């Protein structure tokens, strides 16, 4: 490949990572408190919940689908956890919300794969339904975690392990498992195959339906986990929380290089995307004078930039290699 092609491939592959590094350097110079332990752990902790949802969303996007219900599922999970706190059983508070979200995710998967209703509409409906259930369960108000168990439950989100917040460990755990899944397991590779070319993958003997069902179920579980962490952090379940999380997740995945058409991208890219959004949010906070709405404007701008860059790279005709003379014996 000639030099120009090399540079553009490099950019394409690592452009976002480079952007993140430059952002961090810029932040480090502009704000002395940026590179402090307290601030960095703050960033990581903020990222962990959105991060979990973004990781799940990445799987869904890789199959060429979309899941609008994750925010509502997370809120539902947080509400269920808080509501069950009166039983004083932490296991219940964790397992039931997870199970509920898993089942709802499974329903998404089945409706999409078997009933063949478009993912957009299916998850739109689920989004409304889950939010509705959360509101009904709580009568629209916040539910506090029962005083008896609030401290134990609170350790999930508020404790530290080797000086790093537990939610961050959870996020990284899921990330590592996810990376293993996408790189070292058959099921993970089949996700890429189905997203890349569903028909071809079927003809190659794979089962797209199963892959999709698994992916949406896992996404539901991860949303549930995020919701549990949230309620642990707030010591309450708020039915109106997690609003717009799905869109941020999509943005993070897109910025990280996962194409909405499916088959391309990955978790490591999403990690970078999540970090970029969090760092920017942090920078805005540290700046002090900029208000919160700049967060959304800048995220939108980033998305715009990434999307335009990706489209330009698509438009350039791919250099198709013909067999060279050496290859033709």
In sequence order, the β-bridge partners of residue 165 are: 160
Compare residues 149 and 193 and give the one whose CB is closer to another protein: 193
Compare residues 153 and 245 and give the one whose CB is closer to another protein: 245
d(CA 55, CA 275): 12
SS3 164: strand
Minimal distance, residue 213 CB to another protein, in Å: 17
SS3 165: strand
In sequence order, the β-bridge partners of residue 236 are: 144
DSSP state of 257: T
Compare residues 63 and 232 and give the one whose CB is closer to another protein: 63
Minimal distance, residue 32 CB to another protein, in Å: 27
Residue written as token pair 């799905």: 246
Minimal distance, residue 184 CB to another protein, in Å: 3
Short-list 10, 20, 22, CA closest to 269:
20
Compare residues 138 and 232 and give the one whose CB is closer to another protein: 138
Q: Specify the DSSP element, H or E, that contains 160.
A: strand 160-161
Minimal distance, residue 88 CB to another protein, in Å: 27
d(CA 138, CA 131): 11
- Tokens in use for 247? 């869109």
Minimal distance, residue 257 CB to another protein, in Å: 12
Count of other CB atoms within 10 angstroms of residue 323: 7
d(CA 58, CA 35): 29
Q: Specify the DSSP element, H or E, that contains 61.
A: helix 37-62
Minimal distance, residue 68 CB to another protein, in Å: 8
């Amino acid at each position: 490949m000639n030099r120009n092609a090399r540079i553009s491939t490099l950019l394409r592959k690592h452009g976002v990572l480079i952007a993140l590094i430059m952002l961090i350097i810029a932040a480090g110079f502009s704000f002395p408190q940026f590179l402090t332990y307290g601030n960095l752990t703050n960033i990581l902790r903020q990222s962990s919940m959105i991060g979990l949802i973004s990781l799940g969303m990445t799987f869904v996007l890789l199959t060429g689908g979309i899941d609008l219900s994750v925010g509502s599922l997370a809120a539902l999970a947080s509400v269920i956890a808080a509501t069950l706190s009166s039983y004083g059983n932490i296991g219940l508070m964790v397992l039931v919300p997870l199970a509920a979200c898993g089942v709802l995710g499974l329903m998404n998967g089945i409706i999409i794969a078997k009933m063949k209703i478009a993912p957009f509409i299916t998850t739109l409906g689920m989004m409304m339904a889950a939010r509705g259930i959360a509101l009904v369960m709580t009568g629209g108000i916040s539910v506090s975690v029962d005083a008896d168990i609030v401290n134990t439950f609170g350790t999930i989100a508020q404790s530290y392990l080797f000086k790093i917040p537990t939610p961050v460990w959870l996020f990284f755990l899921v990330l590592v498992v996810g990376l293993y899944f996408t790189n070292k397991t058959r099921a993970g590779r089949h996700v890429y195959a189905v997203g890349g070319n569903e028909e071809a993958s079927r003809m190659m003997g794979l089962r797209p339906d199963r892959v999709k069902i698994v992916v949406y179920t896992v996404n539901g579980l991860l949303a549930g986990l995020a919701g549990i962490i949230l309620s642990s952090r707030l010591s309450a379940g708020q039915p109106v929380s997690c609003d717009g999380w799905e869109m941020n997740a999509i943005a993070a995945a897109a910025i990280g290089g996962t194409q909405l058409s499916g088959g391309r991208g990955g978790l490591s890219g999403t990690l970078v995307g999540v970090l970029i959004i969090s760092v920017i949010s942090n920078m805005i906070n540290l700046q002090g004078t900029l208000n919160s709405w700049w967060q959304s404007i800048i995220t939108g701008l980033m998305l715009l930039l990434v999307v335009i860059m990706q489209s330009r790279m698509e438009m350039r005709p791919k250099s198709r290699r013909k067999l060279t003379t050496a290859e033709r014996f």
